[in-house]
Structure 1
Amino acid sequence: MLNRTVSTPFLASVIAHDPRVAEIVRSAGDLAGGKLPRPVLVSRASLDPEELASSDLVVLDLSTTGPASMEIMMDTVGSAPHVPILALVAPGDPDLASRALVAGAGAVVRFDASAPSAPTVVGDAIREFLGSIQKLPRDVHIHPRGPLASSHPDLFGTYTRRYAREVLARSDRHRGIREHTSELHQLIGDLTAIDAAPVDLSDLHMVALRALCRDTSTAGQRRLVHDARVVLVESMGLMAGQYRERCLYGRRLGGADDGELA
């Protein structure tokens, strides 16, 4: 079920290595109620960050790119991390679908370019994807999936700002602008105290990064993407460690001995 009907034209960048796929996606955009520009056939080395940054979404074809798919995905996210990405993957590659989502795709569509229904399938996916994108302040597009964002939006906003400050401070420290005392342990402690899940942490990361990159140069975006990934990896490790400690503490209270805890 669509959250809203897309009634205004949208601008999309199409990244496809197969002219047939690019034409299918352009037809799909017309079916979805928008206007896609002339198909953009690019190599991984010729991504245009300026063009991507001005788009409402990026339709990224990974159905014909083989082993290079994840490199293309990461390059696209790094070029315009604040732009929603709809990835097309081959039906027989379930691992690529999950990896694309982890890497930053907002949605994934299983896509067979040889199927007669291909334009309709992609058109429906574009329409649904656009309909699910929520508008946050400063026109930041985001599609959070975790319970924290949906059930406690005010709290989610507070934690997002704290996470963003940590990313900015990390970036400033790497550039030698200032020293910073990390508050990441405290932030993750507060999140685990309210039983936040890893998907909530991923939402915080995505919203904060897109907001930080909104009015930033291409070089600045790449630096922020790198620093934010480091913060995310550290955050996931801290969260896992704190939940493990809580579990062990609970088992200790329940009477488990050292051998059982080991």
Structure 2
Amino acid sequence: MATFSRLIRFLAKDGHVYYGDALLPTGITDIAKATQAHVIQGDIFGQHRVTEQIADDIRTVRCLGLNYEQHAKESNLPIPKFPVLFFKPVTAISGPSDDIPVAGIAQEGEGLDYECELVIVIGKEARNVPESRALEYVLGYAVGNDVSHRDWQIKRGGGQWGLGKGFDGWAPFGPGIVSSRIIRDPNALHIGTKLNGDVVQSSSTKDMIFGVAKTIAFLSQGTTLLPGDLIFTGTPQGVGMGRKPALWLKDGDQVEVSLEGVGSISNKVVFDKSTPKL
């Protein structure tokens, strides 16, 4: 059965939404530049097939903290002995070009921050998986932005990170899902962030403390990972919190996060004036 290499979900010119295997121009690896795709029929996590039908005019949650050594150092925190896990609600998930909505509760205080991250998409049920076989359970990879509010994460969250990271739309990812058959070594990819066109993060996933296989193996111990589960794997150094002076996101800022072999997503920060402030 033929399967996809670069999975995207898109709106075609016929007005219908499809899953497809993106077609890229020769020499291009950025999935966001796809303008055509082979339509996929069936269950992308089960039985499916890549058809010969080509659609065009495309318009197109577990998280780890402190998983890059240099980021832990810039945060003045010790290197963790085990993965630092937190969760985002499904309502935090948004698309590769969606606005990042900032409700009134997150407009006050300091700390609206960006975090570029490699995102693992689980492809089949995984429980008690050994590290040696962990990559067999990966459907593919995407890039995401773990948007965070440091005051709510650190000062006001009672020791829990979820409140400062779980607002609606605060986990944009995409621009598609690149198959693990294409990305053989997820631990050697350039990853970075541009803020209003300026580079603010530039690193490599080789700086991850817990690589992809180790992360999946650890998180699956006694806990079932399901097809479609997302794992945001932490961010490298260069976040706004780690800068002197600190660099916080503002209303209207444009944030682009990118991952080698996958492409980039770009999202605008939009303060919601209709929601009350505390």
Which bin holds the TM-score, normalised by the shorter protein? under 0.3
Is the radius of gyration larger for structure 1 or structure 2? 1
More strand by share: 2
Higher-RCO chain (CA-CA 8 Å, sequence separation at least 6): 2
More helix by share: 1
TM-score, structure 2 length as denominator?
Answer: 0.24
TM-score, structure 1 length as denominator?
Answer: 0.25
